[in-house]
Structure 1
Amino acid sequence: MRNITFIHFIIGIFLVINFIPVFAEPVEDLDDIVVSATRWETPGIPTAGSITVITRKQIIESGANRVIDILRGRGGVQIRDLYGDGSRATVDMRGFGESAGANTLILVDGRRLNNTDLHAPDLSFISIKDIERIEIVQGSSTVLYGDQAVGGVINIITRQAGELDVDFEAGYGSYDHQLQILKLANRFDNGIGIRTSAERRLSDNYRDNNDLEYLNVFANLSYDWDRGNMFAEFQRTDEEIGIPGALFSNEINISRKQTTKPLDFNDTIADVFRIGGLFSMTPDWEVAGEYTRRDEDVNGNITFSGGFGFAFKQKRLHQSFNPRVRGKISFGHQEMLLVAGADIEKTDYELVSFTSSEQDLKSIYALATLPFNDVMSITGGLRKAWVENEIVTFVPITPDDHLTASTLGVTITSDNAWRFFIKREDNYRIPLVDEQTDVFFSGFPELKTQTGVSYEAGGEWYNRWFVSKLLGYVLKLENELSFNPLIGPFGQNVNLDPTRRTGLIFEVSVTPVDQLTVDAQYTYTDAVFENTAGAGARVPLVAEHQLHFSVTYRTAPHWSIYGEALLISDRVAGGDIANNFASLPGHGVGNLNLRYDDGAWNFSARINNILDRKYSDNAGIGFNPGSGNTETGFYPAPERNFILTLGYEF
């Protein structure tokens, strides 16, 4: 597979796409409404690229209670879950391993969850009940979304107020897991809408010192009129969780559930306030924008191997303003779709009492799609960004930078039965504020901005009962940002020599009858280092192969059964850049869900890890005081477990 060139893949795509339409029955309209292609609601995907939509119906039938379980195994998406409860999980697109949290952009209604420090986006702060759909954007999307959109973008679209809807749901499961959800939504005849929800979770979880207390409250007030809308919303999340840490092999042999760090914990309070709106100036031109303020206070304790540790406090204040405009410009008999805007972001970060940092990021962008005819269109765009840092550790530093990214792509469609695209896009990732600091030493060289280029080509074909997608890519990076734990006593953040990733994604969904849907997704990822002493070594924590298979059978008007299997190959342990230590073994896991829904009452019974596999979903190298050597530490995943939920809609 590594010898297959990008041009060979493109030729193969053309051959397949020219063969499939012979059997594909054109359909009148299979276009989903998507936001992520242009940052506006748009029928279908007008730009060059690939977007997969996970619908609310699919989410409900799966019985998933966490966002991370919905994304697990999806094409091009790999998940690493430290403790199996979704509270400390990382989404990885394009095979970034340890740095995936800063190279995959996570959005909620276009609002960034990503941080400008090393803390990965926290998907556990999103309630399943609030989700309308999830859009997975494959590949670099830097021109439209900016920093950290290197491997891809996941945009979680929440539900909007409609007819009066009052829902209550309660659940109980393994490890004394308790769940209560309350939701109220309504839109009045005068255009005013309200949407509120509250979610509470308690759990002992699988591991010792992994108790969870979680509360999430949300309120949205909106107003719609014939030429636009406006809204204001607030969310507060309060999470208290114990952090059990990794176990070495000798410790796992004694007990998979034990912890060697009984004092470690994280307590987080996060407040998000957001206000925005949209206004239609003319039938062809619209303006929109949002202001967001996110405050986070974190208290915790961390213990290193050998028993050394300390209590810490983190404070994050992230503010952003995102104005944009969309319009159509006539070119002869065709209309060019133009999207342009600005992203203005300011972050204040403090790690008490070691560091304080400020980062200001300003950027402007434009993306245009011009149809040549009814079959072919071209997409091009440009983003210019300026970043200013003020970072204070023991020595103040101000590593400022300015960046440019461009994209160019071509899309070909035919008879609404198939679609082909090819795209090139630049990308960048700005060093995080705490990647540029060291609380124990100073004088390290300033890190360079990670830059790269992505080449992608793909095809989709579909009819009333069959939808399929094939996508290939090459991603080349310069100065990739990573952490090397073997430099010095505590490790060091570094710029790597050039890295390369090539991959293949295949997805298929078949619905031969209304009662049955079969889905499968296969992801091949070849992520390696280049031009180093260990050239050809695999990037840690990236699986080369991943296969996800699911079946949904609707047995009666109100009943459905959902089953899924996930197979993932072995991965190099985190931090093992030279590939010298024990790897994280591959594993296979199956889940099953039974659901009843008559429109008022609903009931769900989900069994996770139904075959009771004993596996780990994450691993990293570290010092084992028991042996006196550097070894691989593992994070044991839960064995067979269940969750029962009962809900009523008034």
Structure 2
Amino acid sequence: MIRLTGFSLSLLCWVGSGALLPGQVSLPPSTVAAVAEEEGLTDSLAFPGSGESFGREELQDSRSDSVLSFLSAQAGVPFLSVYGNSRSGSPVMRGFGDGSLRKTLILLDGLPLNRPDLSSPEWGRVPLESLESVSVLRGSRTVRYGSAALAGVIALQTEAGPVERGGELSAYLGSESTRSGALSLQAPLAEGAWTFRGEDYRSAGYRDHSGREEGSFSLSLQHSSGPAVESRLAFSASEVRFENPGGLGFDRFQSDPRQSAVYVTGFEDLYVTERRTSQLDGLLRWQGAGAWQGSARASGSWEERLINEGGFFADNEVGQGQGEMVGEWKGARLELEGGVRWRAERLQFRGYSDQERQLPRQRAELARESAALFLLGRYELGGGWSLRAGASGEGYQLRADSRGLGAFPSPEETFSEKGRELQWAAEAALEYEFAPESSAWLRYERVYRFPLLDEIAGYQGFLLDVPFNAALEPEWGHSVEAGFSAQWGLLQGGMALFGTWLEDEIAFQDNLNRNLAATARIGGELFAQWEGERWRADLRYHWTEARLREGEFADRELPLVPRHSLFGNLAFAPAADWEVSLGGQFLSSSWQGDDFGNEGQRLPARAVFHLGVDWQLSEDCLLYGKVTNLLDRHYASYAAATQFYPAPGRQWQCGLRLRF
């Protein structure tokens, strides 16, 4: 049972009982662009590159049940999931498949949502209804955002401008006893505003024993001290409980993808994970003298995780503090932005030999502090040409202590080590604006990525060949991109060609995270969108060639990277209050995770379609229905070590959205 759910629903009822009067919700206009502007930068300082931005209207029109499902259906960003649902997984961009989440930065209101270990963030704690915008920046952004932004950046924004009194209620029912309800409330308050959001989600899951329960809420306060100073304070909490059905051999996967690999009658609670998370965020913006302005962001979070995986029992606590301070200056032709980023991470692990937690087996604590300086600039050359450049430096220090316990402690579980690293990044870009809303660009970046705590230290009871791998080096390399975006009346489109060459890329092989030989990724992306009076359509095509360049597996394909990906959506409005939409995606086959020799069973290609119908009952009330995986295809989004992790078959969903 999710204890947070009852509390959040009670709070929903209390806030909604009389705190608001009826009114219209103020929604900003939506935008979709082939070139996204980096979150946190001024419009002119944003480095050009392939990407898209989606406003609140696009987010709601999608009828997606999570950020991940929206990214997959609308932004052409597929995801890998071992749990077979769209509320937990790793997005895949720019040819980074295996370990993609380590190399894709997820930002929430300008600060990283990524965890310090190998687990994915809880996407469910960021309901789609709570977001004002989602931006997808493809390609490295290491100078501005640091180590994790190697494949790209996904920026989620909840901040809003001035709000009016109002709210929104949404709910849906679906296959596998799925049900969800969410409530948003907002109102002016003195010289600012407050916003409350809460969500409750429950599902039995497509596979046997793959149930999931989630509850979350957030409360934010905004304040403006005249036009020069703006501040925001937000608190959020979430709780999730989910079952792990495990992977299946290929024959079992083909015969019955719904079955569970790990369930044993009478031991249902042996494969359950629970997480409880709370977070406090703060933001301060100010307008300085003359052409100066600045901002400061900070957040602190704490997570408790209870893990039961067969004979593996553990409690894991993760604490994080992070922030950045940024200053910007804008002259007639020259603009500058500089700042400092910092992050502190602490993991505490307690392993047990029994589910009752009476027989301790291991204790471990890992801590890492990192800091970075960055500087970006843009110079207007004239005639539509502009030159941009930037550089950054980042370093960290790490402490890891682990101790084996019990009657026969394992020597491999006992170690006390330290480590530190320094790295740097630099980038340059040339852009030419040849028409309004149309430009071409060429950019280069020297990139890097630090290993995560899990990649260095085997502290979670899974004994690695080297418990503390001090020899593991950061990844580093070079990235280039050339492209253009343009708008011709109702048609918008763009193209990008890219290449990323890495040295010392980190991957899990033979029971240890190792620095592989050099790797190379080259590819291209095409995007087109058209919107008429009754019809709208979009199409995305990605081609990626990802291979090892040297060593034992030279010229082999990198795992979990489909060579061809195609995403499309078509919508038709037969009447002013009706819309029918059809979406689909195709991903070609790829090698399983960890299969660097390209010798095992390939992850099969898949083509999946979705159908949706919307009925706008009134300006403030919408009914909708949708069917995902319309043709009930059996497929898996992830496979590793001969185990396949099935995705859901055909699923239906009916929902209501009401504004007041």
Letter in 2 for 1:360: E
Q: 1:602 to 1:177 in 2, by over 3 A?
A: same
> Does the 8 Å CA contact 2:277/2:304 hold for their aligned counterparts?
yes
Q: What residue in structure 2 maps to residue 387 of structure 1? A: 396
Shift of 1:46: 4.5
Q: 1:470 to 1:498 in 2, by over 3 A?
A: same
Shift of 1:218: 0.6
Q: SS of the residue aligned with 1:323? A: strand
Match of 2:441 among 421, 425, 428: 421
Q: What residue in structure 2 maps to residue 535 of structure 1? A: 554
Shift of 1:125: 2.1
Partners of 2:418 and 2:489 lie apart in 1 by 56
Q: Deviations over 1:466-515 (max 9, x none)?
A: 1101001110111111111xx2xxx111111100000101000012x222
Q: Deviations over 1:565-594 (max 9, x none)?
A: 101100101111111110110010000111
> Does the 8 Å CA contact 1:165/1:649 hold for their aligned counterparts?
yes
Letter in 2 for 1:539: L
Letter in 2 for 1:638: P
Q: SS of the residue aligned with 2:59? A: helix
> Does the 8 Å CA contact 1:500/1:529 hold for their aligned counterparts?
yes
Shift of 1:52: 0.9
> Does the 8 Å CA contact 1:76/1:505 hold for their aligned counterparts?
no
Shift of 1:253: 5.0
Q: What residue in structure 1 maps to residue 645 of structure 2? A: 635
> Does the 8 Å CA contact 2:196/2:219 hold for their aligned counterparts?
yes
Q: 1:96 to 1:415 in 2, by over 3 A?
A: closer
> Does the 8 Å CA contact 1:107/1:155 hold for their aligned counterparts?
yes
Match of 1:336 among 331, 334, 337: 334
Shift of 1:191: 2.5
Q: SS of the residue aligned with 1:574? A: coil
Matches within 5 A, 1:183-198: 183-188=184-189, 190-198=190-198
Matches within 5 A, 1:44-55: 46-55=46-55
Shift of 1:215: 0.2
Q: SS of the residue aligned with 1:282? A: coil
Q: What residue in structure 2 maps to residue 18 of structure 1? A: none
Q: What residue in structure 2 maps to residue 367 of structure 1? A: 376
Q: Which 5+ residue runs of structure 2 have no aligned equivalent?
A: 1-28, 264-269, 351-361, 403-413
Shift of 1:30: 11
Work out the percentage of aligned pairs sharing the same amino acid: 22
Q: Deviations over 1:210-239 (max 9, x none)?
A: 111100101100112311310100110100
Q: What residue in structure 1 maps to residue 357 of structure 2? A: none
> Does the 8 Å CA contact 2:31/2:55 hold for their aligned counterparts?
no
Letter in 1 for 2:143: V
Q: What residue in structure 1 maps to residue 484 of structure 2? A: 459
Partners of 2:57 and 2:468 lie apart in 1 by 54
Match of 1:275 among 282, 291, 307: 282
Shift of 1:437: 1.3
Q: SS of the residue aligned with 2:417? A: coil
Q: SS of the residue aligned with 2:257? A: coil
Partners of 1:436 and 1:211 lie apart in 2 by 32
Q: What residue in structure 2 maps to residue 578 of structure 1? A: 597
Letter in 2 for 1:431: P
Q: 1:633 to 1:33 in 2, by over 3 A?
A: closer
Shift of 1:132: 1.5
Q: 1:591 to 1:467 in 2, by over 3 A?
A: same
Partners of 1:136 and 1:492 lie apart in 2 by 32
Q: What residue in structure 2 maps to residue 134 of structure 1? A: 134
> Does the 8 Å CA contact 1:33/1:41 hold for their aligned counterparts?
no
Q: Deviations over 1:93-118 (max 9, x none)?
A: 11222211110001111121112211
Q: 1:30 to 1:215 in 2, by over 3 A?
A: closer
Partners of 1:33 and 1:286 lie apart in 2 by 26
Q: What residue in structure 2 maps to residue 15 of structure 1? A: none
> Does the 8 Å CA contact 2:281/2:300 hold for their aligned counterparts?
yes
Q: 1:30 to 1:235 in 2, by over 3 A?
A: closer
Match of 1:351 among 349, 352, 357: 349
Name the structure, 1 or 2, with higher relative contact order (CA <8 Å, separation 6+): 1
Q: What residue in structure 2 maps to residue 627 of structure 1? A: none
Q: What residue in structure 1 maps to residue 177 of structure 2? A: 176
Matches within 5 A, 1:234-313: 234-253=235-254, 255-262=256-263, 263-282=270-289, 284-303=291-310, 309-313=311-315
Q: 1:45 to 1:592 in 2, by over 3 A?
A: farther
> Does the 8 Å CA contact 1:34/1:135 hold for their aligned counterparts?
no
Matches within 5 A, 1:603-618: 603-618=623-638
Root mean square deviation of aligned Cα: 2.1
> Does the 8 Å CA contact 1:61/1:560 hold for their aligned counterparts?
no
Shift of 1:261: 1.6
Match of 2:474 among 433, 439, 449: 449
Taking structure 1 as the reference length, what is the TM-score of the superposition?
0.88
Q: 1:151 to 1:54 in 2, by over 3 A?
A: same
Aligned residues: 596
Q: What residue in structure 2 maps to residue 124 of structure 1? A: 124
Q: SS of the residue aligned with 1:143? A: helix
Q: What residue in structure 2 maps to residue 324 of structure 1? A: 326
Shift of 1:600: 1.7
Shift of 1:33: 9.7
Q: SS of the residue aligned with 2:98? A: helix
Q: What residue in structure 2 maps to residue 567 of structure 1? A: 586
Match of 1:436 among 450, 456, 476: 456
Q: What residue in structure 1 maps to residue 406 of structure 2? A: none
Shift of 1:41: 5.9
Taking structure 2 as the reference length, what is the TM-score of the superposition?
0.87
Partners of 2:171 and 2:152 lie apart in 1 by 34
Letter in 1 for 2:580: I
Q: SS of the residue aligned with 1:537? A: coil
Partners of 2:478 and 2:457 lie apart in 1 by 27
